[in-house]
Amino acid sequence: MKATHYYNPNGEEILDEKIFGGSPTGFVDFNRSKYQWDSNIYDLMNANTWFPSEVNTSSEKKNFVNLTENEQAIYKLTFAQLSFNDSAQEEYLSDFRRLANNRLIKSVLSLQIMQEVNHSKSYAVLLDACGNSDEVFNLYKYDDALNRKNLRIAEQFASYIDGTTSDEMLLSAMASVNLEGVYFLLGFAYIYTLGDKVPGARDMIQFIARDELNAHLPLFANIFKTIRKENSISTKTIDKSYKMIQDAVDIELEYGKYLLKSYPIMGLTEELMEKTVYNYANDRLEKIGLDAIFEKSKTTYLQDLVTKHLNINDIKSNFFESNVSNYAKSSLDINDF
C-alpha cells in the first residue's frame, strides 16, 4: 500500500474534501469542517456518550417473569432482532467508512461504530440480567420470520457496499437510512408499550433510540443528501432509493405482523403498525430530499410513544438543517425518566 493512502502532502485542501472521490491529505481538522453538520453530529454523539452500567437492570428478571407469555415472546423476539440490527450496522459502518473520502466524515463514522458496539453490549447486559441471554441470541436458529428479516436486511447492506461509484455509495447510504429510520422503530415501540412492566429494558432502549434517531439517522440523511448534491446521480439510482425504502417497509411490516399474529398484546393492531411505519418512511424520504410515497395519516399512538421517550434529556436540535441549540447529557438519574 502506498504511503499517500495515509499522508499525501499534495492532496486536497481540507475544505475541498468531498464525501466521495478525491485525494485527502490525511489530516482530521475539526476546526475546518466543509459541511458543519458532521462536526455538530460528532459533538452530539460525544456529549451523550453513555454506558449500559448506567441503567438499573437489577429487577429485570423478576419483571420479565411477571409478563404474560405473549409479552415475554414479544420481548425476546424484539431484542433478538434489535441486537442483530446493531451488530450488522457496526460491521457495515467499517466497510462504508472505506468508501468515504472526507476525513472528518470518517471520524464521525468511527464514533458511531463505537456506539453501535455499546448498543450490542447493552443487549448482552440486559439479557444476562433477565436470565435468557443464550436463548434470545440464538432465536434466529429456530424462528424463520426472525431469520428472514435479518437476511433481508443483510442483503440490503451488502448490495452496494463494494461499489466504486457515487451512485453505488448513495444507495449504500440508503441502506443505513433504512436501518436507523425504519427497522428499529416498531421494536422500540413494543418495549415502550410494555413500559413500566420492564423498566430496565425501557430505559436501555431510551438511550439506544436517542443515539439512533437523534444522531445516526441525521448523519446518514446528510451523507445521502450531500453525495447527491456533489455528484451527478442518475434518475435510475433515485428510483432504486425509492425501491429500497419500499422493501424496508415491507420487511418491517412482515415481521411486525408476524409478531402480532403469533403473540397479540393489548393495544397493537395491524392498522396501527401500517400507519406508523408509513409515517416514518415518509418522514425519512422527506429528510433525504425525496418525495413521500406512502399513505399519510395523523401521528399515531406508537409514534407519540417513541417521541415521548426521546425527550429524556430535552435535546433541542435539528441536525437535518445543521442547527444546534443544546446537546448536553442529561443530569437526571436514570430512574427519574
What's the number of CA atoms in the CB half-sphere (13 Å) around residue 304? 5
246-267 pLDDT, tens digit per residue, is: 999 999 999 999 999 999 987 8
Report the alpha-carbon distance of residue 185 to residue 230 in Å, rounded: 31
* pLDDT at site 266: 79
> Whose CA is closest to 130, among 207, 193, 55?
55
* pLDDT at site 21: 86
Sequence letter at residue 133 = S
pTM (predicted TM-score): 0.90
* pLDDT at site 296: 96
DSSP, residue by residue, 141-166: GT-HHHHHHHHHHHHHHHTTTT--SH
* Residue 317 bridge partners (DSSP): 324
* pLDDT at site 327: 37
Report the alpha-carbon distance of residue 97 to residue 104 in Å, rounded: 11
* pLDDT at site 313: 52
* pLDDT at site 24: 86
* pLDDT at site 1: 67
Specify the 3-state DSSP secondary structure of 24. strand
* pLDDT at site 111: 97
Strands (E), the chain: 316-318, 323-326
| CB-based contact 310:210 (threshold 8 Å) | yes
* pLDDT at site 14: 84
Angle at 82 between CA 76 and CA 83, to 5 degrees: 90
Mean of the per-residue pLDDT values of the chain: 90
| CB-based contact 241:93 (threshold 8 Å) | no
CB atoms under 10 Å from CB of 290, counted, come to: 18
Domains and CATH numbers, the chain: 70-336 (1.10.620.20)
- The residue count for the chain: 337
| CB-based contact 186:279 (threshold 8 Å) | no
Decide: residue 1, CB within 10 A, 0-12 exposed, 13-18 middle, 19+ buried.
exposed
First to last CA, the chain: 51
Cell 450490542 appears where? 120
What's the number of CA atoms in the CB half-sphere (13 Å) around residue 248? 30
| CB-based contact 227:170 (threshold 8 Å) | yes
* pLDDT at site 319: 40
What residues are labeled active site?
123
Residues of the chain with pLDDT under 70: 1, 312-337
Grid cell for residue 239: 428510483
